[in-house]
Amino acid sequence: LVELLSSQYSINPWNVQIGIISSAKSVIKGVGSDITPDHLSSIIELIYKGMENAKYSVVRNAALEALIELIGITRETGVLEPHLPKINTQLEILSKDNAVQLMAEKVKHLLEEHLSKKAKTG
C-alpha cells in the first residue's frame, strides 16, 4: 500500500505512512468510546500497515501515539484484549529502537496498568 501510493503520487514513503497512521487516529477520535471489535480490528490494521517496514522513527513514534489513544478509549470496553499478543510483539520490536524506546515503554506501561485494573475489577 505504501509503495503503491508513494510511487503513484511521487510522495515520500514515510509521508504516506504518517498519513495512514493519522487516518487511524482520526477514526479513533471519531468512534470514541463507542468502539466495537470490528472498529478496533480495522484501526489496528491501519496502524500496522502504516508502520510496516518504517525506516524513520517519526513513523514508529506516530504509531505508538495512535496505540496510546487506542488504549485510552478501550479501557472500559475490553475489546483490546484479543489484540494484546500482536500489540505486545510490536512493542517488543519497537522497544529495541533507541529513537522510540521511551515511547514504547510508556505504551507497555499503559497496557500493564490497563490489564491490572481489569484484573482488579473483572
Torsion angle of C-alpha atoms 59, 61, 62, 65, degrees rounded to 10: 160
Three-class SS state of 79: coil
One pLDDT digit (tens) per residue for the chain, 122 residues: 778 878 888 888 888 899 999 999 998 888 888 888 888 888 888 888 888 888 888 998 999 999 988 888 887 777 788 888 888 888 888 888 888 888 999 998 988 887 777 666 65
pTM, to two decimals:
0.82
- The neighbour count for residue 70, using CB atoms within 10 Å, is 24
Residue 11 C-alpha cell reads as: 510522495
Q: Closest by alpha carbon to 91, among 81, 80, 76, 101?
A: 101
